[in-house]
Structure 1
Amino acid sequence: MNRFLASELEETTPEQCTFQIVPVPFEATVSYGGGTAEGPQAILEASDQLELWDGESIPADEGIFTHEPVDCTGPAEQILARIEAAVTSASAHGIPVMLGGEHSVTLGALRALKKKHGTFGIVQFDAHADLRKAYEGDPYSHASVMHRALELELPVFQLGVRAFCTEEREVRAKHNIPHIDAKDLALKPLPENLLPENFPENIYITFDVDGLDPSVIRATGTPVPGGIQWWQAITLLEKAVEKRNVIGCDVVELAPQEGDHASDFAAAQLTYSMMGIIQRSRKAAEDNS
């Protein structure tokens, strides 16, 4: 499998890098269009076409190391254990940046970071709430990953949701999950402070690419109209990390389609832009300390 930005960066070691890419080509429970197992490779290949300057800084200056892909054969629990081990190893050196694969891979990262950091907040970009207790009888479904997060007692903040069922509405209400859904993002101004005041300082960002409008990324299993636009996503990410410490992130649910290089490139650009936003936020925190 390729390295992230291999066309621009020399090979290095994990110890020298802030950003630790963890490819997880897992797909088992997608419920509409398939292909997410090919997502990590497509993002890595597309990253060769990125510019090092992201418009504001050079995230690669922090160092980017690409780990070997997680072995995604076998039962779901075994795969999640391997993901947990990979993220644990990556987080020992820097910030894990996981590339999925379907959204269920996020659970492995959450388990690893919960053991290391204790409580932290999850900022979820998604077209779907993913709050079903189980989907088609599978508690490890991509449609249930945020329900598993609640069981880990991790607070969740949702952005861009526009497709969810009655069960998920009830779970949201029961757990008082803060959110700004896609319609409100489109029609109302953003609050000055995006995250609730009592939201944890440490955060994990999980970005399902179907949270973006299909005009930005179409190659995903369940594209839903009315999603987040590109610069809106960048603004939301910047607001989310403001005065927060990002302990990990992921980009999931890209399902590459032949001839659609735009979606692959957008997912790679999104991954790199997230690194840049984290880089600048960390520098601002250092300057203010």
Structure 2
Amino acid sequence: MNKFLASELEETTPEQCRFQVVPVPFEATVSYGGGTAEGPRAILEASDQLELWDGESIPANEGIYTHEAVDCTGPTEQVLARIEAAISTAAEYGMPVMLGGEHSVTLGALRALKKKYGTFGIVQFDAHADLRKAYEGNPYSHASVMHRALELELPVFQLGVRAFCTEEVAVRAKHNIPHIDAKELALSPLPDTLLPDGFPENIYITFDVDGLDPSVIRATGTPVPGGIQWWQAITLLEKAVKGRNVVGCDVVELAPQEGDHASDFAAAQLTYSMLGIIQRSAK
């Protein structure tokens, strides 16, 4: 089994580790380019090329344990139940770090953490709003995952969106979903305080890699131009976690392409950089 930073870390037990990596190679509803089922494997393999020092600290000092990949065969509801169980187990030991797979996997994690923490806020990095009630008749589509989050009564804050339909515009307005879309991020200075007043102290970060500009990660199902740049993403993550407690995170929608090592490595670096930011922001 591939493990995160296997080339650098000694064997550990989950009890020894703060960060609990859960690979979820699920792909069922991608609507353009496919391949996200291979995303977790590619991230884990690329992580062997990372440096332990991330430029400011060594997140691995907190301990990183990689669980067995979730079984993603069978109907979507069954897969989501397995994801929920896996995240619940991981959360008993530390902070779940889920590697997807398509974005629909996030619902399983949200269900698990809802039971553990009650309410928490979701910080969503994404090219798409993912607020459709259903897509092509499927309520578990990757394009509907944030609509399912709203049904769980979890507040959402969106960053980097630049492709959405009129239905999603209406859902945003109805639920008063705060957001800073990609155009505003590109043309205006970042606010000193990112999350709005009243946003929960506990947060979950879901990072769809298509939120980044294709110049950073091209290997994703729908690489929409005009996305978030690398250092902008790092700064946004730092602002998002400031003064907050991160209860879990995920990196999803990498669709590896032969010969594109840069995208795989960037997704692995994003994952590790996120852990470093969380490590350094701990209260």
User: TM-score over 0.5 for the alignment?
Assistant: yes
CA distance in 1, matches of 2:151, 2:190: 29
Q: CA offsets per residue over residues 110-161 of structure 1, 9 Å max, x none?
A: 0000000000000000000000000000000000000000000000000000
CA distance in 1, matches of 2:192, 2:228: 18
Tell me the SS of whatever aligns to 2:97: strand
What amino acid is aligned across from residue 106 of structure 1 in structure 2? T
In structure 1, the residue matched to 2:207 is 207
In structure 1, the residue matched to 2:230 is 230
In structure 2, the residue matched to 1:88 is 88
Tell me the SS of whatever aligns to 1:228: coil
Q: CA offsets per residue over residues 169-203 of structure 1, 9 Å max, x none?
A: 00000000000000000001111110001000000
Name stretches of at least 5 consecutive residues in structure 2 with no aligned partner: none
Tell me the SS of whatever aligns to 2:53: coil
Name stretches of at least 5 consecutive residues in structure 1 with no aligned partner: none
Q: CA offsets per residue over residues 14-46 of structure 1, 9 Å max, x none?
A: 000000000000000000000000000000000
Tell me the SS of whatever aligns to 1:92: helix
Residue 170 (structure 1) aligned with residue 131 (structure 2):
no
After TM superposition, list the pairs within 5 Å mapping 1:187-202 onto structure 2.
187-202=187-202
CA distance in 1, matches of 2:261, 2:130: 27
CA distance in 1, matches of 2:58, 2:118: 31
CA distance in 1, matches of 2:89, 2:102: 21
In structure 2, the residue matched to 1:155 is 155
Query: In the TM superposition, what is the alpha-carbon distance from 1:278 to its structure 2 partner?
Result: 0.3
Q: Name the Cα RMSD after superposition.
A: 0.3
Residue 108 (structure 1) aligned with residue 108 (structure 2):
yes
After TM superposition, list the pairs within 5 Å mapping 1:47-58 onto structure 2.
47-58=47-58
In structure 1, the residue matched to 2:65 is 65
CA distance in 1, matches of 2:11, 2:261: 26
Tell me the SS of whatever aligns to 2:3: coil
In structure 2, the residue matched to 1:19 is 19
Residue 135 (structure 1) aligned with residue 135 (structure 2):
yes
CA distance in 2, matches of 1:190, 1:202: 22
Q: CA offsets per residue over residues 200-242 of structure 1, 9 Å max, x none?
A: 0000000000000000000000010000000000000000000
CA distance in 2, matches of 1:11, 1:26: 26
What amino acid is aligned across from residue 37 of structure 2 in structure 1? A
What amino acid is aligned across from residue 157 of structure 1 in structure 2? F
Tell me the SS of whatever aligns to 1:107: helix
What amino acid is aligned across from residue 186 of structure 1 in structure 2? A
Q: CA offsets per residue over residues 221-280 of structure 1, 9 Å max, x none?
A: 001000000000000000000000000000000000000000000000000000000000
What amino acid is aligned across from residue 223 of structure 2 in structure 1? P
How many pairs does the alignment contain? 283
CA distance in 2, matches of 1:186, 1:233: 12
What amino acid is aligned across from residue 16 of structure 1 in structure 2? Q
| Identity fraction in percent | 89
In structure 2, the residue matched to 1:253 is 253
**Runs (4+) of structure 1 moved beyond 6 Å?**
none
CA distance in 2, matches of 1:106, 1:170: 23
CA distance in 2, matches of 1:145, 1:171: 13
